Structure 1
Amino acid sequence: MTRTPVLLDCDPGIDDALAIAYLVAEHRAGRIDLAGLVCTAGNVGLEDTVANALAWLDLAGAPVLPVAAGAPGPIAVPHVLTPETHGSRGAGHAELATTTRAVDARDGARLWVELARAHPGELVGIVTGPSSSLARAVALDPALPGLLARLVVMGGTFRGHPGNTTPVSEWNVDVDPEAADRICRVWEDARAADPAVTAPLWCGLNLTERAVWTPERSRALLAAADTPLIRALVDALRFYFEFHESVGEGYLAQVHDPLVAWIALHPGSEVSEPAHVRVECTGEHTRGMTVADVRGQRGRVDNARVATDLLLPGGAGAVLDEVCAAIASLAGPRA
């Protein structure tokens, strides 16, 4: 069976850690080929992002794979970090060990391009952080959209759903709106030239906020597999619970990234609608807003699909059940 090659562009970050562990489990189960990771500055600075990604790969028992440092910050604005959300180093209460894994000599944009060219029409790209590295990649090789089998982005918010950074903006997009808008413009140009180019699937807060992790789920995961990986994830998630409680969401965590990783590996599992999407980069009150034209009012080619629901019975909760089972499968002997 041919395994689907997958590239993850992430900024770990607590829910990114769940996505990394899930993808490693799917790789070890033979369902995908985790072909590489790009680390983009986002929740934490680039040095911590890279260190965290390498440490989570070690804990998950990942094979040797290229891990590249991507963009060190946004295109046009200062980088805003989120120590209140993910902890000062991006791993919550988890203490991550130093790894001996080497960082790839290529930068993240170059890894995007080279993996896409090594797997033309096959590579699945997943972005769970800011689009800064991918924006550099499409500048390096404007043919990139036509080389990917599909692109799935955790970003934005649609259908009037409120933002989590400003009233209208989602954090990944708000960090670097110029990068997110570049992705929209490049895919518009690519699909105008060749309608066979697959439009990216944008998974916004209107869908991803349904992926709610609870302390009960952490306890169940720990009972299934009491390993260093699981203990570190549980410690990280405890910080995430505390953050969500501090902003009035309750003692729980919205884990956007593993939901998006699952959707990327299960094409057709979501309900989506075609749209022409652009990102507002200048508005005093609307900067970072993802503006989706689903009625064709702009008269522009659709450059995106916007995810609105899941077809899996049980919805996001059932997805997290599958993610938990996959991560538990990584367990060796019980500690």
Structure 2
Amino acid sequence: MKPTPVLLDCDPGIDDALAIAYLVAQHLAGRIELVGVVCTAGNVGLDDTVANALAWLDLAGAPPLPVCAGAAGASVVPHVFTPETHGPRGAGYADLTVGKDHGTTTTRARLDPRSGAGLWVDSAREHPGELVAVVTGPSSTLAQALVLEPGLPGLVSELVVMGGTFRGHPGNTTPTSEWNVDVDPEAADAVCLAWERARSAAPDASFSQVSAPLWCGLNLTEQALWTPAHSERLLATSDTPLTRALVDALRLYFEFHDSVGEGYLAQVHDPFVAWLALHPHRVVAEQSHVRVECRGEHTRGMTVEDRRGQRGHVPNARIATAVTLPGGPPAVVDEVLAAIASLG
């Protein structure tokens, strides 16, 4: 079978690094075709997210593929950076410059001159009805791509978003908001509106030709936990420059989670969501209508879900609530670990 084309829009970021390594492993195993990586400003600035993506791709042994710089910040308000979460450069304690001049990394990853939004549009047009797009950072670049190509929802086969929080689960940035959405709620809401319009305009109002995006919120992704034992197992299985750098990065992520009362561990949202994107038959999800609050004094960034159809709009989202893999999210983390170890 032809490998599934996959586009990753990320903001590396420590758990993004795990997602990159996981997707490279799936690409090299022939299960997907990683057609490109878009870098969006996130916890750290755009220069760092681009540099980190290139370095992680090199360390993972990725083949040459386009890497494009996307949005440099939020759509409307000043972008809020959070170096305390992923470190001042977004790589924790990992030194991604080590080995660049000594052949340790492959240095095959190169920055493509296109914009991140341009890569979104080009990838969707080159793989109409086939592309699986995964967003593990703010939706800022995707919102720009929707301006360039309003028909994007009809070109993408599946959109999988790490963002929001649902079913009454608390936020991790404010009491009601998750960070990826909170940093640029206008962009996230633009995504919701774009898919709502596309599904409403589908022939015979069936909207079956436009798949509702899969939103993977904290209600599910916070169950994906990486512990020091996982790091020890990864190194024991595959002791390489990649795995050593990942383990160094994760140490700071452990410390951050410990500092906010979660324990000495890491919630690895992004590789978990990448796994969900590649295993749609293992995802339990419910169709719903979602908008993002952009003005509320206490609720800005809240993903507001209409489960009962009270707004009268067509469903524009699928809310991920569980996985059917035996062992649940911990088993998913184990599969991610094994895939990354295979790169050694």
**Shorter-chain TM-score: which interval?**
over 0.9
Q: Which residue of 1 aligns with 2:126?
A: 118
- Name the TM-score, length of structure 1 as normaliser: 0.98
Q: Which residue of 2 aligns with 1:148?
A: 156
Give how far 1:89 is off. 0.0
Deviations 1:52-99 (A, max 9, x none): 000000000000000000000001111111111000000000000255
Q: Which residue of 2 aligns with 1:81?
A: 81
Matching of residues 229-248 of structure 1 within 5 Å: 229-248=242-261
Q: Which residue of 2 aligns with 1:314?
A: 327
Q: Which residue of 1 aligns with 2:104?
A: none
- Name the TM-score, length of structure 2 as normaliser: 0.95
Establish whether residue 223 from structure 1 lines up as the match of residue 245 from structure 2. Answer: no
Matching of residues 182-331 of structure 1 within 5 Å: 182-194=190-202, 195=207, 196-331=209-344
Distance 1:258 1:187 in 2: 24
Aligned length: 331
SS of the residue corresponding to residue 22 of structure 1 reads helix
Q: Which residue of 1 aligns with 2:182?
A: 174
Q: Which residue of 2 aligns with 1:106?
A: 114
Q: Which residue of 2 aligns with 1:72?
A: 72
Distance 1:87 1:240 in 2: 8
Distance 1:92 1:49 in 2: 13
- Report the residue type matching 1:216 in the other structure: A
SS of the residue corresponding to residue 243 of structure 1 reads helix
SS of the residue corresponding to residue 268 of structure 1 reads helix
SS of the residue corresponding to residue 104 of structure 1 reads strand
SS of the residue corresponding to residue 261 of structure 1 reads helix
Deviations 1:202-241 (A, max 9, x none): 0000000000100001000000000000000000000000
Gaps of 5+ in 1: none
Deviations 1:3-43 (A, max 9, x none): 00000000000000000000000000000000000000001
Moved over 4 A (4+): none
- Report the residue type matching 1:12 in the other structure: P
Distance 1:108 1:210 in 2: 30
Gaps of 5+ in 2: 101-106
Instruction: Using the aligned pairs only, state the percent identity.
Output: 74
Give how far 1:100 is off. 6.4
